[in-house]
A and B are shown apart, each in its own frame.
Chain A
Amino acid sequence: MKHLLGVRGLDRTELTGLLDLTDSFRAVNARPIPKVPALQGRTVATLFFEDSTRTRLSFETAAKRLSADTLSFSVGTSSVKKGESLKDTARTIEAMGVDAIVVRHSASGAPWQLARWVDAAVVNGGDGWHEHPTQALLDAFTLRSRFGSLDGLRVAIVGDIAHSRVARSNVWALSTLGAEVTLVAPRTLLPPDTGTWPVRVVNDLDAVLPDVDVVYLLRMQFERQGAALVPSLAEYVARFGLTRRRADVLRPDAVVLHPGPMNQGVEIAPEVADDPRCLVLDQVANGVSVRMAVLFRLLGAGPVSDPGGSGDV
């Protein structure tokens, strides 16, 4: 694996290998000094064209725990606002001698182009509406840790699928690992054509809640009501919000995931967010371990380049 650009196209062996590696790094992170010399002398750059303190910190923490050096570029501090093309920016950063570039961009596909222009490994830290592979990996890891396996797990992804890179990456990751994925949204918040996707699509949340093991709630953007996609947030909550009443219908062992940050009172009621079945903090904690696994897979040498390798760290 040279880059991690997306989950679509990764097979079950590759995904399982990354999750197994994540297990090893979670063990590292449980130590009193959570640091290994695996990537000593390597440099990881984060190149964020879109603000995301959480994702950036997670990647930088992961790199540091692997003893890599980190460089941080963002639109506010670099020249990307001065008419420099993405290609120029990428080449400039590479000239500083980086081994990996983690890129976050508001335009779908930007990491693909970057990967054509640079020799460094490229990690997609989220591109437009397209993919957010490390988010999906950490979600899959969180579910595997809870349920042991994703085979046959019934997952409902609820909300604004159309504009969600988290939803797309999770569709590929969860279904490849054996889960049965159902998309729940009004037609206006679904991608225009999901005919080839390995999913079931419904628009009635109440009809699916009693039967699912996992409810994955997406963040509902306030501006969607201005674009005639939903009449109002109130109507959205009435049809698709995980209210207290709806949470009561869930199976006792069901769990709730959310990529954060949550709009409490919109897609999730505050008391549901505080429910122990809501695994949001597990997701955040696992994020660092997953990103360590990804960076190690791309930059580390040795036995783990074997896709089935299970964490000889």
Chain B
Amino acid sequence: MSEIVLLRGGVVVDALGERRADVVVVDGTIVAVGPDAAAGRSGTVLDCDGAYVMPGFVDLFTGVGEPADPTAETIATATRAAALAGCTAIVVAVDHADPLDGPAKLHHLRALATDAACAVVPAAALTLGAAGERLVPMAELAALGVRIFGDPHGVEDPTVLRRAMAYAADLGVTVALDPVDPLLAAGGHMHEGAWSSLLGIAGIPAEAEELGVGRALALALRTGVRLHLRHLSTAASIGMVTAARRAGLALTADVTAAHAVLVDGDCADFDPAYKVAPPLRPGADRAAIAEAVRAGAVDALASGHVPVPAIAKDVPFAEAAPGGAMLPFSTSLAFDPIGCSPTGAVTVLADGPARIAGIDERHGGPLLEGRAGNIVVFDPNATWTVGGSAHPSLTDSTPLVGRTLRGRARHTLVDGIAVVIDAEAQR
């Protein structure tokens, strides 16, 4: 018995543009795309009226917690939250407490992911234990399918980083870095500027990030490695990346939804929910980040989801853990208030991150016959409010609490199976 899903009455949006079309998915594969393509067929009909039918979104570097800390978030809760946000795949961020640095942990992650609501893509550390000293068995992990390597807080020793990049370049895998100078950022809890001055909180200067970007670019240029810079947050960082790309560097970059929407002044009441890493920046940086997303100056808009248990936020700002739940909300933010066009949203939420994750054969890309049925039906006009029990992630703390969002995933198909129908998780 075939599994047939009929996506009827929507507007297909992908890299080829926008067109009114039905999409027919049979046993995980798109078999027909066109006006009235669903007419006369039997199967599960999903109403797409007033909605965009898009390639499924891919979240880069979702913080999960499990296996190190399953109280913060598990693969099951993270992938359910992802599917509800319209994601058909997540790249699991390397956990700083228990970094994936060898085959055993890779197999463990894959075992945990067997019943996940969407595809789970592993990323591995660059060095053993993310300690910044010895390299992980990169070729062995690459042979097992890992395409992205990076330590959660970067690699402090430039000699180690340079060798890791050279080794990765041979293998054709991507090195992903958080661009930050750890010494300059040390001891800081928010962006250094007018607000940190008023609040008397030790700051993290923008230069801490910009030095990290400059160092990564300089090393990548000569090793020829595929470099990905995670979570850029300053206007100058965007400028450096844009210049490096013009110069022909094999470089990709992402920003997070929080940095495109929120500012350092949101910390004014000392609410640790607004403590994230990198820190929220002033309005001019926020505007530059949002513009980079709209203009495609960065390849991906990531959620920046970092689950933090409540107890780690029920403390003073300086003592609180950075992070918060973003995964359920970031894809909505891409449309409003960030203001991506529908095709622009496909670029930064689906095509770009799928390519970076090395999963573009099955995720992202145009909705054409023969391609995998990883699809989101996104209603740009649905409004909903953040908070309360509707929150699918295990983590309560989010800088978006109380906000009303516009735009929401209506249906999500993962390999042709409807895991979300009418904004309700099916598993």
What is the interface of chain A, defined by CB distance below 8 A to chain B? 8, 85-88, 105, 107-110, 112-113, 127-131, 165, 168, 191-197
Measured CB to CB, the closest approach of chain B to A152, in angstroms, equals 25
Contact between chains at B193 and A193 (CB < 8 Å): yes
Determine if B396 is an interface residue (Cβ-Cβ < 8 Å).
Answer: no
Among A107, A165, A168, the one with the most B-chain Cβ atoms within 10 Å of its Cβ is A107
Tell me if B199 and A109 are in contact (CB < 8 A).
yes
B86 in the interface (beta carbon within 8 A): no
Given A85-B311, A108-B270, A113-B270, residue A130 in contact with residue B316 (CB < 8 A): no
Minimum CB–CB distance for B320 against chain A, Å: 9
Residues of chain A contacted by B197 (CB below 8 angstroms): 191-194, 197
A192-B196, A193-B193, A193-B197 known; A107+B314 contact, CB < 8 A: no
B316 and A105 form a contact (CB under 8 A): yes
14 contacts between A and B (CB under 8 A): A8-B198, A85-B315, A86-B316, A107-B317, A109-B317, A113-B270, A113-B271, A128-B201, A129-B201, A129-B202, A168-B198, A191-B196, A192-B192, A194-B197
**A108 and B193: CB pair below 8 A?**
no
Q: Are A86 and B315 in contact (CB under 8 A)?
A: yes
Q: Does B140 contact A (CB under 8 A)?
A: no
Q: Which chain B positions have C-beta within 8 A of A165?
A: 200
Known contacts A112-B269, A113-B316; A192/B203 CB under 8 A = yes
Most buried by B among A85, A88, A194: A85
Q: How far is the CA of A60 from the CA of B414 in the complex (A)?
A: 64
Number of B interface residues, CB 8 Å? 23
Total contacts A-B at CB 8 Å? 72
With a cutoff of 8 Å between Cβ atoms, the chain B residues found around residue A107 in the complex are: 316-319
Pick the most buried of A88, A109, A131: most chain B CB atoms within 10 A of its CB: A109
Q: Could you tell me the distance between the alpha carbons of A165 and B201 in the complex, rounded to whole angstroms?
A: 11
Q: Which 4 residue pairs are nearest across A and B when measured between Cβ atoms?
A: A109-B270, A107-B316, A130-B200, A129-B200
Q: Which residues of A contact B192 (CB under 8 A)?
A: 192-193
B295 within 8 A of A: no
B203 near A108: Cβ-Cβ < 8 Å: no
Q: Which B residues from 156 to 198 make CB contacts under 8 A with A?
A: 192-194, 196-198
- Say whether B194 contacts A196, CB under 8 Å: yes
Closest CB-CB distance, B210 to chain A, in whole Å? 16
User: A70 CB to closest chain B CB, in angstroms?
Assistant: 24
A83 to B, closest residue via Cβ: B311
Give 17 new A-B contacts, CB below 8 A, not counting A108-B318, A192-B205.
Answer: A8-B198, A85-B315, A86-B315, A107-B316, A107-B317, A108-B199, A108-B201, A108-B270, A109-B201, A109-B269, A109-B317, A109-B318, A112-B269, A113-B317, A128-B201, A129-B202, A168-B198
Question: How far is A107 from B187 in the complex, measured between Cα atoms in Å?
Answer: 12
Which residues from B are CB-within-8-Å of A85? Answer: 311, 314-315
Determine how close the nearest CB of chain A comes to the CB of B190; give it in whole angstroms: 10
What's the least CB distance linking B406 to chain A, in Å? 28
Please give the distance in Å from B173's CB to the nearest CB on chain A.
Answer: 39
Min Cβ gap A194→B in Å is: 6
Interface string of B307-344 (1 = CB under 8 A from A): 00001001111110000000000000000000000000
In chain A, what residue has the closest Cβ to B192? A192
Question: With a CB–CB cut-off of 8 A, which chain B residues contact A86?
Answer: 314-316
Interchain CB contact under 8 A, A108 and B317: yes
Whole-angstrom CA separation of A130 from B200 in the bound complex: 4
Contacting residues, chain A, for B193 (C-beta < 8 A) = 192-193
Which residues of A sit under 8 angstroms from B318, Cβ to Cβ?
107-109, 128
* In contact, B200 and A128 (Cβ under 8 angstroms): yes
Set of chain A residues within 8 Å of B194, measured between Cβ atoms? 193, 195-196
Rounded to whole Å, the gap between the CB of A310 and the closest CB of chain B is 32
**CA–CA, A196 and B265, complex, Å:** 13
